[in-house]
Structure 1
Amino acid sequence: MGEVVRVEVSKEFLVACAEGIHARPAACLVKLANNYAGEILIHYQDQVINAKSIMRILAAGIKAGARIKVVVSGDSPQSVVEEIEELLGGEVS
């Protein structure tokens, strides 16, 4: 039987949005996450945030210039990371 391979890609970003991740970019991020079958997690300070939850993203209070790490796992995670990069900007590594 075929083995399921789960690929994970992570990337750090500096949040380039002038107001940080507020309602509009959070909604765009959640929409992207909900259209992806895999998992997208945001690491910010000591929090691990499910990118499919707008309430968790907004409650995190991610400010402009903040350093976050995005971890995407599932099918084609690199393309999802690239979409997040377009949305948030500020690639670090």
Structure 2
Amino acid sequence: MRVGLVLVSHSAKLAEGLAEVAEQMAPNVTVLPAGGTPDGGIGTDYDSVVSAVRQADGGAGVVVLYDLGSAQMTAELVVESLDDPGAAVVVDAPLVEGAVAAAVAAQGGADRAGVAQAAIDAGRGAEQREAPIAEAAEETASDVVRTELTLRNEIGLHARPAALLVRAIAGVEADVRLRFGDDEADGHSVLAIMSLGARQGDRIGVEATGPQAREAIDRIEALVERNFEEG
């Protein structure tokens, strides 16, 4: 049972396209679009959002994201009208980045609070995301497990491979960092990994600390060896 997602947008095409992207990264997560008006216009529709929220709830709850102000109002009214308002939560997060992060968190088995937090964290600056990681690295430098890997898959660390990497280490007790050139990324953040811009043939550094640091490194090495399941 995984948390479901509902994407509320003024545009049906935007909501549907984003849902398609999120589903590619999280194939076992229900991601439903609720965009536009019944006549195909720009706007939001209360009944459509109600239907989407109810369908998305498989028992673990629903996280609802939205694009603009009136979409937020519609989403909040829908949640308040549910028989159990606690079954869903409306999250103030960037729609695109939040949907991607939330979908990957849900795929990894996070509960509703964890999925909502993943969406919120996606809107934070890179410095804020990486500061705690840097501090943890200083505290446990002697326990760091390191490796260097060459990317052989065709598209490098773009959206789908980044999502697969995050999913591979979900639930592992380890802080993971990826380095490419002078840049560093949280290994549990799809968006941060994508921001590295690592492509086919590039060599990346991977570091892990924590009780299962070796397990995290092994999983990432195996994923790279399998070319991120490409072809």
Secondary structure of the residue that 2:199 maps to in structure 1? coil
- In 1, the alpha carbon distance for the partners of 2:195 and 2:175 equals 19
Q: Which runs of 4+ in 1 moved over 4 A?
A: none
Give the TM-score taking structure 1 as reference length: 0.81
Aligned to 1:41, which of 177, 180, 205?
A: 177
Contact 1:14 1:89 in 2 (8 A): no
Instruction: Please list every run of 5 or more consecutive structure 1 residues that lacks an aligned counterpart in the other structure.
Output: 1-5
Amino acid at match of 1:23: A
1:51-62 aligned at under 5 Å gives the runs: 51-62=187-198
Structure with the bigger RCO (C-alpha within 8 Å, sep 6+) is: 1
CA distances 1:15-67 after superposition (whole Å, capped 9, x unpaired): 11111112111101112333223200001010011011111111211101111
Q: What residue is the counterpart of 1:11 in the other structure? A: 147
Q: What residue is the counterpart of 2:67 in the other structure? A: none
Rg: which structure is higher?
A: 2
- In 2, the alpha carbon distance for the partners of 1:71 and 1:57 equals 13
Identity %: 27
1:1-93 aligned at under 5 Å gives the runs: 7-89=143-225
Give the TM-score taking structure 2 as reference length: 0.35
The structure with the greater share of residues assigned to strand is 1
Q: Alignment RMSD, CA only?
A: 1.7
- In 2, the alpha carbon distance for the partners of 1:16 and 1:59 equals 18
- In 1, the alpha carbon distance for the partners of 2:215 and 2:189 equals 20
- In 1, the alpha carbon distance for the partners of 2:169 and 2:219 equals 10
Amino acid at match of 1:54: V
- In 1, the alpha carbon distance for the partners of 2:189 and 2:215 equals 20
The structure with the greater share of residues assigned to helix is 2
